Every structure is written in structure tokens, then in C-alpha cells.
Amino acid sequence: MINYTRNKNLYISLSRDDTFADRLTLFLLHFSFFLKIYTNKNNKILLQKIYDFNFRQLELSIREIGYGDQTINKKMKDYINFFHLLISEIHFWDTLDKTQKIEKFSSFLPDFGKLDNLVDYFDQFNNYLKKKTLNSYLKSVSNP
């Protein structure tokens, strides 16, 4: 997911230099699409481990930045709530038209212009995930 988030084309329409928060938002968007596609009864335990690992790594990254324990707890709560908002917003992604998708993105990507480019990108990403198996990601077979 990190490799996908590093795609410089995702940040072209940003009206300023990208920040940790922008990169995190795009990472969480990628991750939410990933979970949306691969969540089923058979993958539930494995996806929970991936979820836990990702948020543990996020917490470690915040600690490396130098925040204190109290700030880290608050930030992690905010990030987890934001992530669950993203998941709920993209849950019915396939049934939305482009205008509705742009509206959804505008609520959590306010500094990005030309959201239609990001919508197109995530439409393609969503379709790409549907063609791949979860195992292809777990065995590092996929290249972005």
C-alpha cells in the first residue's frame, strides 16, 4: 500500500506541498479499498492481523516523529475514526456515479483540486484489486 501511496501523480492537484497528513489520507484510502475488496468470512482473521499491523506501524511512525504518549493516543483515535469513516464512505463505491464519488472525496481531500483525476485513479485501483487475489499481495507478487 505504501508503494501505491508514493505515486507522485496522486499529489499533482494538491494546492501546496504534501504533508504527512496528506500521505496518510491517501494510504488510508488505498487500505480502505483493499479491505473493501478482500473482506469476507475466509479472510477475516488475516485481514484483522493486517489491520492491526498497519495501525501499529502508524503508531510507531508517530512516536518516531516525537509526540508524547497522550498526543499519540489522541492522534491514533482520530486516525482510526477517520479510517472507519473512509471505509463507510467507499463501501458502496461501485454504485456511485462520478459526481457522487467526487463529493465523497472532497469531504476528506479538501486541498486537492481536480478530484476527478483521483476518482479515476481509485476506480482503476478498485478494479485492479478485484482482479488480484489477496495471496498475491501477501507474497509480494504485485508491483504497483
Note whether 71 and 61 are within 8 A (CB). Answer: no
At residue 140, the pLDDT reads 55
How far is Cα 15 from Cα 130, in angstroms, rounded to an integer?
32
Give the global pTM: 0.89
Over the chain (144 residues), the average pLDDT of each successive run of 10 is 89 89 93 95 92 94 85 92 95 95 92 92 96 82 45
**Which pLDDT belongs to residue 45?**
92
Q: How far apart are CA 57 and CA 35, in angstroms?
A: 17
All three cell numbers of 60, joined, read 510507531
Phi, psi at residue 62, to the nearest 5°?
-65, -40
No. of H helices and E strands in the chain?
7, 0
